[in-house]
Structure 1
Amino acid sequence: MTTQLPPDRAERDTRIDVFRALALLTIYIDHVPGTVFEALTYKNFGFSDAAEAFVLISGMSVALAYGNKFQPGSRLLAALKMWRRAGVLYTAHIVTTIVVMAMFCAAAVFAHRPELLKLINIEPLMKNTPEVVVGIVTLGHQLGYNNILPVYAALLLMAPLFLLFVSYRPLPALIFSGALWLVAGIWQIAPPNYPEPGFWFLNPLSWQFLFNIGLAGMLHVRRGGTIPVNRWLVGAAATYVAAAAVWVHSPLWGQITWFDLPVVIGGFDKTFLSLPRLLHILSVSYLIVALPAVSNLFRLSQDHPLALLGKRSLPVFLAGTVIAMVAQVMKLINPGGFAYDALLISAGIAMQFALAFYLEWLSGIGWSGKKPVRTEAPAARQSFGMSPVVARLSR
């Protein structure tokens, strides 16, 4: 059995936008630790969290945005566009890092809470300012809760090479990508921190495997392929997801690794994307693809708030990062209770939706600075192996 693609659908399939929006909102809630709502997010029901979902969706989005453009004669232009996008992400990361540091410093000074400067990796800036400034610019020093954009920018820098090999030899390309993930995890190969010891919190040499799985899967579907649906695979994925939901609430969750295996195989390390985390996000994704009743729950109208939020993912993510840091400071200064938590989370989410609606309104009156996008043929707009999707990356 395989999933079937309706050939006559021309409207935008909003499911990628909706899943991206849910990932962004989950990241926001998780980035305000200590609220009662943190216990209800996706990370509490399995081995993976919203970061894995975000990277997988990013790979799919790159395939949608650049897959058809990455052809002989236009590859350089497509590569330049991806690198320009990586530059935008780098600039956005530096700006948000400076804003967040300034905000914590202001809270420490005006609220007389100097202990705030010991949080989210700000303290090294106070002790070794010249070195840390160099580290910030070179991405060797990243603040806590502000470390997703660097790995995404790094993946976009590598994306032209990924696209080239996945387009011609998808299976060997994925085998090589998986081998790189394994080698990086076993021998702990990752971009180093500077000036502090250690590695990037999210290692791009590891996370590229998940990114490439999303990219290869979407390219396969856009070229007329299907995602096979096998009842045994569905059963195995469902069993794994259910077991993970129980595991994370048991004493087993505290184990660093099992059977003396390398952590990347038998543990739950996030930096090197350990196998249990990778299998979990892939199992969840497969169930969504294989079960139309589940997948179609996320097929919403194009003007649905979640669809609009996911469509405007980058500005919403940046705003959400800053808002989350503000809420985090407020929570540290005044722990409050349930009503206070509800106010912090609901206000932050409302501001992100307001930004998405504002940007959509600007686009509607012609102030977005972008040219109208031509509608592509339905056959080029397929996703999830089941239905058509937007043929460009939502900005």
Structure 2
Amino acid sequence: MNIQLGPSQFARSLRPFLLTILLVTPFCLLRGPLHWHGYSYFLFLPAVALAEIFFGFGVGLFAILLTVFIATYFFIEPIYTLWFSPAQLPALALYALSSVVIFGACEGVRLLVQHVSDVRHRASQQALGASEAARPKQRAVSVDMWRGFVLCTIFINHMPGNVFEAITFRNIGLSDSAEAFVFMSGVAMALAYGRKFNGGKEWDVSLTLIKRAVKLYGVHLLLSLAGIAIFAAGAIAWHAPGLMAMHGRDLFVKDANTFLFGIISLGHQLGYFNILPLYIALIVVVPGLFYLARIHIGLMLAASALLYALTRFYGWNLPNWPIPGGWFFNPFAWQFIMAIGIAAGLAMQRNRLVRSKPLFILASVIVFAGAFVVTNGFGLSFGVRDAVYNWLDLDKTNLGLGRLTHFLGLAYFIYCLGISPKLASLRILQPLIVLGRHSLLVFFLLSLVAAFGQVLLLTGHNALWVQVALLVGGVSFFYAAARFSEAEKAAGGPVMVRG
């Protein structure tokens, strides 16, 4: 069929591109009177976001290319050329990365909004009836499976120096289990409490979350003291005082009273025991995120992204005490990935988390690029990792954009593959589901066993059979404890700590 594009249709097709140029133009015009510095082109990011939200995928890509061109020509020395000095390359690469992150987030929000307004989609939902009602349970099983997988990964990574570290996914990408843990926690929060909150039980959900935060606070205190006891016992048993000189344990040796007040105030956090304080801080803000999401998921993500941006720009963080500095996991930054997890969970619950082919391609590129960098070009180009790591934003404390981009790409890549329900149905992976259902109990136990494993490895007890015994024995112990907790619940007895 021959379709001819008339003048009016052609003009309408150009309108989004012309409006995008108008969105970008004011930033160029303000350069002269305001004497902006060379990094001012980062303020083009709102124009990229608006172009994607209002006009869609193609125009959003056009906005990225346009702003990169304008930045290179007008903002980066020497101006009025397409050349730039090597010193400006990291900033320009960071801008491109930021644009891609915002572009991907806005594309997801735009597609979600589109599905909300899709009447045919709602009609198909009603027609599916009972079979559709069973899907959230399958999704919850899949979430539990990945939570169990992440917990096992954390267990391995919390014993540095063991041979199994080489097979964890941080060795093939720019992110690690920390991003996965917080993101999956957000997904689980949305699946567990999202409908209740939106159903008028705001205070019930908020009270439940506050109680959970208090429980986590008690678990953190117990873990910190137990960790000190394990390392102190190792230092005495194997005459290794150096065990008490690392990861904040030296303060206990120097001043135990101050150490205890620091632990109680959350101002002093031991290495490998510092993710629960982050989780506590994030749980406190979950009701606020739910409230914004009830108005619009895009509003919640926008508010969270704004807090993240301000945190990165002004260096906000909660302070340590008594040792100067800030929290190892900055909650003002890490709340962003929790918010993204909540948005994904709410979309899953409503069956509105879409699979976009362009986004899947973008996610695939991100995953492939991360693996290429971390593995030095898959072992073919040594030095790539060191060269790129010098300018990529991979700060773990403040959730660097490189880490965030890679994890979101990895998560969306796995989601689009559609393998989670199939994996969750495999008998061999059922233990992971059990571990994920009892994530808090398992995290408590793995922290203690990992501390014991660190003592063994640091004191020279690092034979291969010891490492295998730690991994197999530890995971088996966690699984047995989780099964025992389920048996207690089934029998009506006291339930152990649940995730």
Secondary structure of 2:224's partner? helix
Q: What is residue 471 of structure 2 aligned with on the other side?
A: 345
SS of residue in 2 equivalent to 1:69? helix
Residues 274/295 of structure 1: CA separation in 2 closer, same or farther (3 Å cut): farther
Alignment of 1:313-392 (within 5 A): 313-369=439-495
Cα deviation, residue 130, structure 1? 2.9
What's the offset of the Cα at 1:143?
0.6
Q: Structure 1 residues 33 and 307 mapped into 2: Cα distance closer, same or farther (>3 Å)? A: same
C-alpha distance 141-313 of structure 1, shift in aligned 2 (>3 A): same
- Distance change in 2, residues 1:124/1:293 (3 Å): closer
Residue 272 of structure 1 corresponds to 398
Contact 2:170 2:177 in 1 (8 A): yes
Q: Which amino acid aligns with 2:143?
A: I
Amino acid across the alignment from 2:315: Q
User: Contact (CA 8 Å) 2:235, 2:242: kept in 1 or not?
Assistant: yes
8 Å CA contact 2:191–2:345 kept in 1: the answer is yes
Q: Distance in 2 between matches of 1:354 and 1:221?
A: 30
User: Is residue 218 from structure 1 mapped to residue 345 from structure 2 by the alignment?
Assistant: yes
Q: Which structure's relative contact order is higher, taking Cα pairs within 8 Å and 6+ residues apart?
A: 1
CA–CA distance in structure 2, aligned partners of residues 255 and 52 of structure 1: 24
Corresponding residue for residue 389 of structure 1: none
**Structure 1 residues 105, 227: CA separation in 2 closer, same or farther (over 3 Å shift)?**
same
Q: Say whether 1:125 aligns with 2:252.
A: yes
- 1:197-276 alignment runs, 5 A limit: 197-222=324-349, 224-250=350-376, 251-254=383-386, 266-276=392-402
In structure 2, the CA distance between the partners of 1:303 and 1:342, relative to structure 1 (3 Å rule), is closer
Which secondary structure does the structure 1 equivalent of 2:197 belong to? coil
| Partner residue of 1:174 out of 284, 297, 301 | 301
> Which of residues 185, 191, 208 is equivalent to 1:81?
208
CA-CA distance at 1:163 after TM superposition = 0.7
Q: Distance in 1 between matches of 2:321 and 2:438?
A: 32
Distance apart, 1:71 and its partner CA: 3.9
Give the whole-Å Cα distance in 2 for the aligned partners of 1:274 and 1:196. Answer: 24
Q: Distance in 2 between matches of 1:77 and 1:255?
A: 51
Instruction: Give distance in 2, aligned partners of 1:127 and 1:255.
Output: 40
Would the aligned equivalents of 1:32 and 1:324 in 2 still touch at CA under 8 Å? yes
How far 1:58 moved relative to its partner?
0.6
1:134 CA drift (Å): 1.6
Question: Is 1:48–1:280's contact at 8 Å kept on the other side of the alignment?
Answer: yes
In the aligned structure 2, how far is the partner of 1:21 from the partner of 1:273? 23
How far apart in 2 are the matches of 1:284 and 1:86? 29
Identity %: 33
Q: Deviations over 1:199-221 (max 9, x none)?
A: 11111111101100111122233
Partners of 1:334 and 1:26 in 2: CA distance: 23
Q: Does 1:189 align with 2:316?
A: yes
Question: 1:244 deviation in Å?
Answer: 0.3
Structure 1 residue 119 displacement after superposition: 2.0
Partner of 1:375: none
Which amino acid is the alignment partner of residue 253 of structure 1? R
Distance change in 2, residues 1:35/1:168 (3 Å):
same
Unaligned stretches of 5+ residues in structure 1:
260-265, 371-393
TM-score of the two chains, using structure 1 as the length reference = 0.86
Instruction: Give the distance between the partners of 1:345 and 1:273, measured in 2 at CA.
Output: 29
Over 3 Å counting, the alpha-carbon distance change for 1:142 and 1:253 in structure 2 is: farther
Counterpart residue identity of residue 394, structure 2: F
Match of 1:379 in 2: none
Deviation at 1:270, TM superposition (A): 0.6
| Structure 1 position 164 matched with structure 2 position 291 | yes
Letter in 2 for 1:317: F
1:312 alignment partner in structure 2: 438
Q: Which moved more, 1:181-190 or 1:203-212?
A: 181-190
Larger proportion of helix: 2
Question: What is the TM-score normalised by the length of structure 2?
Answer: 0.69
8 Å CA contact 2:227–2:451 kept in 1: the answer is: yes
Please give the root-mean-square deviation of Cα atoms over the aligned residues, in Å: 2.5
In the alignment, the residues of structure 2 paired with residue 258 and residue 180 of structure 1 have an alpha-carbon distance, to the nearest angstrom, of: 26
Structure 2, unpaired ranges of 5+: 1-110, 116-120, 377-382
Q: Do the aligned residues in 2 keep the contact of 1:18 with 1:307 (CA within 8 Å)?
A: yes
Q: Distance in 2 between matches of 1:186 and 1:257?
A: 21
Task: Give the match for residue 51 of structure 1.
Answer: 178
CA contact (8 A) 1:289 1:295 kept: no
CA shift, 1:169, in A, is 2.2
Q: Tell me: CA distance 1:132–1:285, structure 2 relative to 1, closer, same or farther (3 Å).
A: same
Q: How far apart, CA to CA, are the structure 2 residues paired with 1:73 and 1:293?
A: 34
Contact persistence 1:20–1:57 (CA under 8 A)? yes
Deviation at 1:255?
Answer: 5.7
What is the distance in 2 between the residues matched to 1:337 and 1:246? 31
State yes or no: 1:135 paired with 2:267. Answer: no
Which residue of structure 1 aligns with residue 415 of structure 2? 289
Q: How many residues align?
A: 366
